[in-house]
Amino acid sequence: MPSTRHLVSAGLLGACLATPFAWGLAQVQEWKSGVLWSRPKIVTPGDGTAPPSDAIVLFDGTDLSKWRGVRRWVVQDGYAQTGGGDATTRDEFADCQLHIEFATPDKVEGEGQGRGNSGVFLMDTFEVQVLDSYENETYFDGQSGAIYKQRPPLVNASRGPGEWQSYDIIFHAPQFRPDGTLKRPATVTVLHNNVLIQDNLELLGDTPFTGPPRYDSNRTRGPIRLQFHGNEVKFRNIWLRELSPPAA
Ligand code: MG
């Protein structure tokens, strides 16, 4: 038979275990931000890499009607191949999510910057380099996935010559104060073949071959431009979503 002392101890232990839980329930108050958010729009995702329902399809494999400068580009077999000059979208964009697929020539010719060179220019200004960087050395801030002359990719996720590859890019345009000074630099995140290679990078300015990066306070949006650099590079399945912050 348990002693009185044991019974008291058991009772105290039970009270100690139960009471904080009960108090906790009584005293918890949910915090609410007070912001009355708008209902997020419903978007139907695409299967695989197909465009989601709210995307602007820039090239679906059949025509380049949404692009300028494509007179000598060739559209066949569901892709568009560079030729004669850069291709530039007729519409202009600022903050966006861009999906694009590309393939450098399967026949390997040239080396360094001369091998499968093209580029995806955001706002017609900031180049995400396209290059055959599969066993092809060049300067690191000029290899595939580099922000040209600013930042190498975090890793080299390149597939081989002729293989289809993808960039998924999240871009935020620069913002300027009324006096033209930079308020917020442009930022870019890039997934190359689903591998993160640029992580919310703050851009230093544009990406010219001939000089240091600079911002132009008059440019806060612009077209997407695909570079013709003398190499035959193929593109397909290009779509874009314009981004805006959630409404309250
Ligand atoms: Mg290039």
The domain containing residue 107 runs over which residues? Answer: 56-242
How many domains would you assign to the chain? 1
Measure 150 CA to ligand 1 centroid, in angstroms: 13
Q: Say which CATH number the domain at 236 has.
A: 2.60.120.560
Question: Does 247 reside within a domain?
Answer: no
Question: Could you read off the pLDDT of 131-154 as tens digits, one per residue?
Answer: 999 999 999 999 999 999 999 999
DSSP labels for 136-202? ----GGGSTT-BTTTB--SS-----TT--EEEEEEEE--EE-TTS-EEE--EEEEEETTEEEEEEEE
Question: What is the distance between the alpha carbons of residues 167 and 201, in angstroms, rounded to a whole number?
Answer: 15
DSSP state of 113: G
Measure 163 CA to ligand 1 centroid, in angstroms: 18
Question: Does 207 reside within a domain?
Answer: yes
Question: Does 1 reside within a domain?
Answer: no
Measure 122 CA to ligand 1 centroid, in angstroms: 13
Question: Does 233 reside within a domain?
Answer: yes
Question: Does 181 reside within a domain?
Answer: yes
Question: Does 49 reside within a domain?
Answer: no
Question: Does 84 reside within a domain?
Answer: yes
Question: Could you read off the pLDDT of 34-65 as tens digits, one per residue?
Answer: 999 999 999 999 999 999 999 999 999 999 99
Question: What is the distance between the alpha carbons of residues 245 and 248, in angstroms, rounded to a whole number?
Answer: 9
pLDDT classification of 23: cutoffs 50, 70, 90: low
Question: Does 40 reside within a domain?
Answer: no
Question: Could you read off the pLDDT of 78-118 as tens digits, one per residue?
Answer: 999 999 999 999 999 999 999 999 999 999 999 999 999 99
Chain mean pLDDT for the chain:
92
